[in-house]
Amino acid sequence: MADDIEISFHAAIDAGKINGAVICATDTKGHFVYNKALGTRTLLSGKEVSQRLDDVLYLASGTKLITSIAALQCVEAGLLSLTGDLASVAPDIAAKQVITGFSDNGEDPLLEPATRPITLEMLLTHTSGITYDFTNPHVARWLLKFNPPEKTSRRPVEEAFNYPLGFQPGTSWMYGTGLDWAGKVVERVTGRTLGENVQQSICDPLGITDTQFYPVTREDLRPRLVDLNPQDPDAFGRAVVGGSAEVNRRVQGDYGGQGLFMPAMDYVKVLHSLLANDGKLLKPSTVEEMFQNHLSQEASAGYQAALTSHTGNFFRVGIDLETKTGHGLGGVVTLQDVDGCYGEGTMTWGGGLSLAWFIDRKNDLCGIGAIQPALPDFHGEILDALKQTFRRDIYRKHAAWKEQQQTS
């Protein structure tokens, strides 16, 4: 597959591997702008229409960056501390014990008390011990035995993620539901829903009007929902997460780790604000703090182990193992340059299996690539290749543009 956005993506569309994609990228001053909508999407009626830049996308874990910003705004307002004990505002988090295994008979979980308090910094960097059930087998086993999900019931974060810690707070790293809990913390200290916080404190300053947490009920947004189609009539976002409907089927309330819907052309406005450090969302000093590596030496060992595990490809988000990385307050941060791609200090993450975003302050570039996979078949390797094409080719296009500017 040719490593060019237009050629590669159109080839995948023609082969029926994906339906389309929306890609948005820009520099600080908005002089370099790459906005492209490719392919088609299917309406609930079955009619095919061209993909548009203002189509509303399911962000999945792309939500985590937005929630991180909302939490850091609370720190700036004096409502929260980045490194302080969260017990007073989140006693349900503080009460969590650490699961280390099960008894010899397989019936009783082996639990021990947490040896240090959980902080907001830990929630934002996946070092709190709060994992996903699918990233920790002991947690998965406990959940199945003591808090099994019911297909027909919707539950808030506090109930859905009511299970033990996978490791002692601050001692390791594992991807988890920390941002969902951070969203609840934001709600508790502000007295507003996470959705209200996001709209008033993040979207309004940037002129963003077309965003909503699941379920998307606004009648002006539903016709533009990419994930409202015959294969996903409830707009769960199935295609983004590999065909499953379980992610949103059972949620109640605003999930800060996974629940937001927004057009790519609006998401890039958030990325641009952080790239430009324009003060519209966060103070310049807070943005600087976001892009620092917040992993301790102890937690870094767990992070490196995760990167080399069988699921490490997902955690590396397109960055090779040889490149040193850490974790900032919003995503992975590169600790050195990536040849032909990210500069040192770039923050990046994604959403589900088909969305990628980055903010590269060294090379003055940010972008989001959102692919719309074709169902019922799901082609994970092709999606990985296309996301990598987006990451690499957008830098080539940016470099070609800069060269043209210098010669014109």
Q: Which residues are catalytically annotated? A: 61, 64, 175
Strand order across the beta sheet in which 332-334 lies: 48-50, 33-42, 18-26, 365-373, 355-360, 347-351, 332-334, 325-327
Number of H helices, E strands in the chain: 15, 13
Residues in the chain: 408
| 392 Cβ contact partners less than 8 Å away, ≥ 6 residues apart | 3, 340, 341
Please say whether the beta carbons of 251 and 154 come within 8 A: yes
| 382 Cβ contact partners less than 8 Å away, ≥ 6 residues apart | 1, 12, 17, 18
CA distance 359 to 365: 6
Helix 63-76 / helix 264-276 crossing angle, nearest 10 deg: 40
CA distance 142 to 148: 9
CA distance 298 to 315: 18
Which uninterrupted H or E stretch holds 210?
A: none
| 152 Cβ contact partners less than 8 Å away, ≥ 6 residues apart | none
